[in-house]
Amino acid sequence: MTTYVELNKNLTEEEATLKEQIHRFAAEVMRPASLELDRLSPEEVIASGSPLWDVIRQYRGLGYHLRGLPEALGGLTLSPLAQHIIAEEMGWGAADLAISMGAGSMPYAFAARVGDQQLIDQYVQPYVSDVEGRYIGCWGVTEPQHGSDAVFMGNGSSPAGVAFDVFAEQTGDEWVIRGQKSSWVSNGTIATHAMVHMGVDKERGMAGSAIAFVPLDLPGVTKGKPLDKLGQRALNQGEIFFDEVRIPASYVLVPEQGYTMMGDFIIAGANGGMGCTFTGLARAAFEEGLSYARQRVQGGKAICEHQAVQLKLMDMFIKVEAARGLSRSAIVYNAVTVPPAAEYAIASKVFCTQAAFEVANDALQLHGGYGLARGMLIEKLFRDARAALIEDGTNDVLSLAGARRLLDRHN
């Protein structure tokens, strides 16, 4: 069952075809795998033969891992609307796997845009042709003592000394990296390469940071155990430790001088993507609630015939449609705006994840006791939505970061 009415009457034939294709992948591959993975231990999720690897292979076989890469390197040329359609459908199918697939491409997409030719030849091109999942990326930002404060991304709001604990020093033609990324790094224990945010000048706070491409098979890199979580259990997460890890200077993709400028681009991409993904989860939860309300009989009639339930269903529907409107607008606007307006991406993430949680909560309530049973899709959607209020920056801190940008932009 799907309730999705496409209000945009101007979809191109390519966009309409893509929408059908990605929905089929989400329904036939992602959702069943995610439900199966949800029942496994974190170690079983990433074990050889796990459904996770089959999802990765099929995802890459369809070429979706090439999103965000330049066309000259084999990347997919997609409109901003098409990008939203893919993210929403994947979020509808399984938000946890959608996040995993997105994080899996980040180091390579970033290196393809700003890395040198050697980095592209050695890592990006093999990733482009990899349909087996041998090249898996992760985004190393969060640390035991630094999580949401990193979203200020060096815009001058973070106090001196509030800097990444993963610290790097340059020695000749190399950088030496020391420190720990926390257990919340998506794909952390299965990744082969990382896009690592690291401090280089603690006195400048988050502004004194840089971003590096780091192969995770280098001497000095170790990983912790996969994290056992309440929700998004198909998304592998775990710690990464750096003990005197040496990388060539050319692997520093964003030096300290460019970190502040790059911050809004990263936030616009990451938070904008979260808004799209959790619009999809909100839609999935609404559909589950609506379907159950049609079937469940109380008081001699289906509960959808009770006015109290009808009011709840309409409220859920409004939130889903509002989430799609905001997340689409933010993605489309920021795709053609330099520098992007990060406050719109932040608004999208905050609103859409909150909407997803509220819709999932209401849909679970409509299910009554059945909504609490393990194995029910709505129970998983509720847990997955709850995690989204925290990841990629907690919504409260993100809102403060967005407010700061509003004040700076309109002073």
Q: Report the sign of the C-alpha dihedral through residues 65, 67, 69, 72, in that order.
A: positive
Q: Which of 224, 258, 292 is the last residue of a domain?
A: 258
Q: What CATH number does the domain containing 316 carry?
A: 1.20.140.10
Do 251 and 265 lie in one domain? The reply is no
Dihedral sign computed on CA atoms, order 377, 380, 385, 386: positive
Q: What is the mean pLDDT of residues 83-89?
A: 97
Does 339 sit behind a cis peptide bond, omega within 30 degrees of 0 on the bond before it? yes
β-sheet bridge partners, residue 325: none
- pLDDT at residue 72 is higher than 70: yes
CATH of the domain at 252: 2.40.110.10
- Is there a single domain that holds both residue 402 and residue 268? yes
**Residue 3 placed within a domain:** no
| pLDDT above 90 coverage of the chain, percent | 90
Which of 143, 135, 254, 273 is closest to 194 using CA atoms? 135
- The answer to whether 329 touches 279, Cβ cutoff 8 Å, is no
Within this chain, do residues 159 and 90 fall inside the same structural domain, yes or no?
no
Closest CA to 238 of 336, 322, 138, 324: 138
Q: How many CA atoms lie within 13 A of 158 on its CB side?
A: 26
Same domain, 93 and 210: no
Residue 296 and residue 245 in one domain: no
Total of domains in the chain: 3
Q: Are 100 and 165 contained in the same domain?
A: no
The verdict on residue 5 lying in a domain is no
326 and 241 in a common domain = no
| pLDDT attached to residue 29 | 98
204/327 same-domain check: no
Is 156 a residue whose pLDDT tops 70?
no
The amino acid present at 74, given as its one-letter code, is G
Do 79 and 91 reside in the same domain of the chain? yes
Parent domain of 101: 13-129
Q: Which pLDDT tens digit goes with each residue over 91-115? A: 999 999 999 999 999 999 999 999 9
